[in-house]
Amino acid sequence: MRKTELQINLSSLENNLKVIKSRTSAEIQAVIKANAYGLDINEVSEVIEDYIESFAVITIDEALDLRKKTKKPILILQGVHEIEDYQKVKDFGLDFVVHSDWQLENMPETNFSNNRAWLKINTGMNRLGFHPDEFFERYQKLTDMKFKDLIVMSHLASSSEKSDQKNIEQIKLFTDLTKNINNKKSLANSGAIFNFNESHFDIVRPGIAIYGGKYLEHGIKPVTCLRSKITMLKKIKAGDSVGYDGVWVANSDCIIAGIPIGYGDGYPYFSESREVRINGKKFKTAGKINMDLITINLEQDSSIKIGDWVELWGFDTDLTSFSKEYDSISYQLLTNISGRVNKNYLE
């Protein structure tokens, strides 16, 4: 068996939901899109269900799979894109976002009394949602239809940056537009939960905070550890190169270790040396990452053996800072881990 795994600490997952609950009185909708940010939607949903009021996903398939496990509301965050999918939405009692005229115009005249529709306003992110000038007309169209509930929502573009004035502008616009309607409202994502209490309204939608990818300063804990076992040790001489294109050359005689993980497993590509940990000691990689292999310079440390674990990131790693070394973000690190990396769930 290939000894490479992503460890997932379920206690830390629960801790993060408890931290989020302590920061708001609003309902919590857990965003578990992209297979729960790579941690497996089935495992994660089961652990966090008691801490939340609803779930959010991207695709119809995600929603239908999740419906087998829960009776709680499930929101399709980008709504329906194929007319026939409205029937699935109706049959399985799914929530759905309406953010475009196409979705409105192609919505069948049917009874959606078991569904909640979420009307999205573009308050400045300029991605999905109706322009503020269009809002009331679209709102009226939806209120004339039969839904279980109609919820009004938007999305903050810079919520992790507390000093960004755009947050205040978006919150004010959303507040002003919706102040005279009695529908439930939803604006806050992970960053806004911690940084902008006035954005919480009725439903908050945390994502990355659940998975420990950001906001450690607020009590959020990292949830994952990525590690791989040494499968190869090789002595090389000073002046020998290692790996593709010979970009790394040994300055002195040393021992090279190999671990069976690479960019084919979703680890970010690198050609310059990166730090890893083995048995609590720090070492540097040697040469370019391969599709299936990373090589490490052990220098003259003969205490390291085949079968020892190499930690690429750990339960004490700040993934936000770590990801910057690869010109990436914590979201990408988590969601890119491929299916051939085993997942090991720890209580």
Q: What is the pLDDT of residues 291-331, one digit of tens each?
A: 999 999 999 999 999 999 999 999 999 999 999 999 999 99
Active-site residue (options: 235, 244, 305, 324) = 244
- Same domain (yes/no): 104, 234: no
Please state the rounded mean pLDDT for residues 152-174.
95
Range of the domain at 292: 224-314
**What is the CATH classification number for the domain harbouring 135?**
3.20.20.10
Residue 338 lies in a domain: no
Q: Residue 166: inside a domain, yes or no?
A: yes
91 found inside a domain: yes
Question: Does residue 321 form part of some domain?
Answer: no
Instruction: Tell whether 110 is covered by a domain.
Output: yes
Banded pLDDT at 170 (limits 50, 70, 90): very high
For a pLDDT cut of 90, what percent of the chain falls above it?
97
Per-residue pLDDT for 217 more than 90?
A: yes
33 carries an active-site annotation:
yes
Question: Looking at the structure, do residues 249 and 154 belong to the same domain, yes or no?
Answer: no
SS3 of the chain: the string is: CCCEEEEEEHHHHHHHHHHHHHCCCCEEEEECHHHHHCCCHHHHHHHHHHHCCEEEECCHHHHHHHHCCCCCCEEECCCCCCCCHHHHHHHCCCEEEECCHHHHHCCCCCCEEEEEEEEEECCCCCCCCECHHHHHHHHHHHHCCCEEEEEEECCCCCCCCCCCHHHHHHHHHHHHHHCCCCCCEECCCHHHHHHCHHHCCCEECCCCCCCCCCCHHHCCCCCEEEEEECCEEEEECCCCEECHHHCEECCCCEEEEEECCCHHHCCCCCCCCCEEEECCEEEEECCCCCCCCEEEECCCCCCCCCCCEEEEECCCCCHHHHHHCCCCCHHHHHHHCCCCCEEEEEC
Pair 45, 152 in one domain = yes
Q: Average pLDDT in the 13-30 region?
A: 98
Which pairs from 279-285 meet CB under 8 Å and 24+ separation? Answer: 279/303, 279/304, 279/308, 279/309
Mean pLDDT of the chain: 96
> Is 345 labeled as catalytic in the residue annotation?
no
| Range in 117-126, 140-149, 292-301 with the lowest mean pLDDT | 140-149
Tell me the per-residue pLDDT of 239-295, one tens digit each, with 9 for 90 and over: 999 999 999 999 999 999 999 999 999 999 999 999 999 999 999 999 999 999 999
Asked if residue 334 is part of any domain, the answer here is: no
CA–CA dist 60, 79 (Å, integer): 9
Q: Which of 180, 211, 242 is the last residue of a domain?
A: 211
Answer whether 41's CB lies under 8 Å from 66's CB.
Answer: yes
Return the CATH number at 293: 2.40.37.10
Does residue 42 lie in a domain region?
Answer: yes
pLDDT at 19 over 80: yes
Give me the pLDDT at residue 1, please.
64
pLDDT of residue 317: 97
Residue at 320 is within a domain: no
- Res 347: pLDDT: 85
Contact 276, 311 (CB under 8 A): yes
Q: Which of 33, 184, 185, 288 is catalytic?
A: 33
Residues 257 and 283 in one domain: yes
Q: Does 52 share its domain with 108?
A: yes
Q: Is the pLDDT of residue 179 over 70?
A: yes
- Of the candidates 5, 3, 2, the one whose C-alpha atom is nearest the C-alpha of residue 224 is 5
Overall number of domains in the chain:
2
pLDDT of residue 20: 98
Residues 132 and 190 in one domain: yes
Q: Give the pTM.
A: 0.94
Residue 109 clears pLDDT 90, i.e. is over it: no
Q: Which two tokens stand for residue 315?
A: 């339960």
What would the mean pLDDT of 121-149 be, rounded to a whole number? Answer: 94
Residues 23 and 134 occupy one common structural domain = yes
- 242 exposed, middle or buried (CB, 10 Å; 0-12, 13-18, 19+)? buried
Regarding whether 231 and 207 lie in a shared domain, the answer is no
Same structural domain for residues 163 and 59?
yes
Residues 119 and 184 in one domain: yes
- The band of 111, judged by pLDDT with boundaries at 50, 70 and 90, is confident
**Average pLDDT of 77-101?**
95
Q: Say whether both 184 and 151 belong to one domain.
A: yes
134 phi/psi in degrees, rounded to 5: -95, -15
Q: Are residues 109 and 205 in the same domain?
A: yes
